[in-house]
Structure 1
Amino acid sequence: MPKANVPVLKEPKPRKKGSRKVAGVLFLLVLILLCVLFFRSSLSKISVITFEGNTYQSDKELLEISGLKTGAPFFGTSASKIKSRLSGVKSIEEVTVDKSFPGSIEITVHEFPVVAYELTEEGRLNGLLANGTKIPLKNGSIPIEKPILTGWSVDDPYFEKLCGTLAKIPESLTSEISEITPSPSVSYPDRIKMYTRSHFEIISAISVLPDKAEYMNMIMDSQDPGTLTLLEADTYVPYTPIEDETDDENDTTHD
């Protein structure tokens, strides 16, 4: 039988990979060029830095502590690093950092509240924060109604605890207290004496004061001024009224 002519299939030629490599290199070069242009442009720099909520430190002071400055790389410092630096400020309780592209950084600080005041030897008032930090009052600032702590030594271990305790008591009650002095005893080394604007003398202890605050407020609202003891047992003794004495007999002289 005659053999049929079978066409010979040509083997496909391998595609040239050179064009793909060239395209890939060009793409990388363009990408690198764009990155260089971006990081050298103003879009990659910090343009605006704002602070909110700070009253004890100025914007300039916080800016220096944060390590930020306008014109610095926007991606050069993370929000967590900024927060960590500012959290070292004793008057700051919490920090929130909001970075918004392009170039905006907004920092909100929440400071410890003022719970009392301290009168210095120079006759100046220091604000005492809830964590015991002392803040000098700026000239012209008007102190709010808070107790003044007197007679406390610098190294008193209960000073900071008292400040923290005052932060847990309603402001309506602490504003009624005019002065707090230490009065330790064997049973209560953290015992204190408080004097109110309504002329009560209150003996209590830092450790029990938050639990006694409601009863203390009730007595002050319903009773006449007196001595109120708020320890393991609560007692109230009103002051003895001072009565005017009159002479029943008139002095006479005899010639």
Structure 2
Amino acid sequence: MNTQMPVLKEPVRKRRGNKKLLAVLFLLFIALLGVLFFNSSISKISEIQITGMHFTTTEQIAAASKIETGDPFFQTASDLIERNVKTLPQVEEAKVMKVFPGIVKITVQEYPVVAFELTAQGELTALLSSGTSMPAAGEGAQLLDKPVLSGWSESDPVKKELTEKLALIPQKQLADLSEITPIPSKAYPDRIRIFTRTHFEVITAVSVLPQKIDALNAVIETQEPGKITMLLADTYVPFQTEGEEGSENGDNAENVQSE
């Protein structure tokens, strides 16, 4: 008896053409959306917010950032904008945050003011810790807690080094320094004279100033006003009081009369 074998059906072939067509259409749709987005106002910088500056103007920051309203929002990376802003000599740090849609926030931190200086024209300028000199209009109140530099030439490299060293001194000790003048010598080209608000005269060098400031503070807190030298060796000599000078003059006069 012959048994009839069942007829095997051929597997249905999947239509790959439809999937490829859908993929192409999807990509075209995404590309169209991208074109529409990047050509719309929502993809542009609509506002640049700048904060934190004191001596720098918003125009200077905006120009240094190299971005403008209307530029593509995603065209310039935040870290590149930060590096651009930091090229300004008065800017120590810059932080950029992008807020979609269209807002770029730039926060600036300038170098601190460490001293003031009177120009040859009698104008007051603020010296930043970077050595940069800025107009000090409206900064008169800070004269009470910052030293004034006098007798310095504009191109003196020691002055820039001095501003860097002053930035390392705690504010409480910096506030006692009243005036700083250069008195270079062959042994110490960076030698300076400091007058303090506590009526001391200090001879030291810019290169050793941060290391000597604690010892200086100890002398000021425990001794009468006098002259302090802080170079290779540290010395202190109190000023002669008027009474002592008068008594010495009297003694000399008596000696002369007796003779």
TM-score strictly above 0.5: yes
Identity %: 45
Q: Write the mapping of 1:1-255 to structure 2, written as runs, cut at 5 A.
A: 2-138=1-137, 140-144=138-142, 145-243=145-243, 244=246
Q: Displacement, 1:197?
A: 2.0
Q: Displacement, 1:60?
A: 2.0
Q: Deviations over 1:183-241 (max 9, x none)?
A: 12232221111111222110011121111111211222222211011112111111111
Distance 1:190 1:82 in 2: 38
Name the structure where helix makes up a greater proportion of residues: 2
SS for the counterpart of 1:207 is: helix
8 Å CA contact 2:193–2:202 kept in 1: the answer is: yes
Structure 1 residues 149, 141: CA separation in 2 closer, same or farther (over 3 Å shift)? closer
Distance 2:15 2:167 in 1: 77
Distance 1:98 1:83 in 2: 10
How large is the RMSD of aligned CA atoms in angstroms? Answer: 2.0
SS for the counterpart of 1:108 is: strand
Distance 2:181 2:68 in 1: 46
Stretch of structure 1 that moved more, 128-137 or 178-187: 178-187
SS for the counterpart of 1:180 is: strand
Name stretches of at least 5 consecutive residues in structure 1 with no aligned partner.
249-255
Q: Displacement, 1:62?
A: 0.7
8 Å CA contact 2:116–2:124 kept in 1: the answer is: yes
Distance 1:216 1:103 in 2: 54
Normalised by the length of structure 1, the TM-score is: 0.89
Name stretches of at least 5 consecutive residues in structure 2 with no aligned partner.
252-259
Q: Displacement, 1:242?
A: 1.5
Distance 1:78 1:30 in 2: 27
Q: Displacement, 1:98?
A: 1.3
Q: Which residue of 1 aligns with 2:254?
A: none
Q: Deviations over 1:95-140 (max 9, x none)?
A: 11112222222111111101111111110011111111111123x4
Q: Which runs of 4+ in 1 moved over 3 A?
A: 244-248
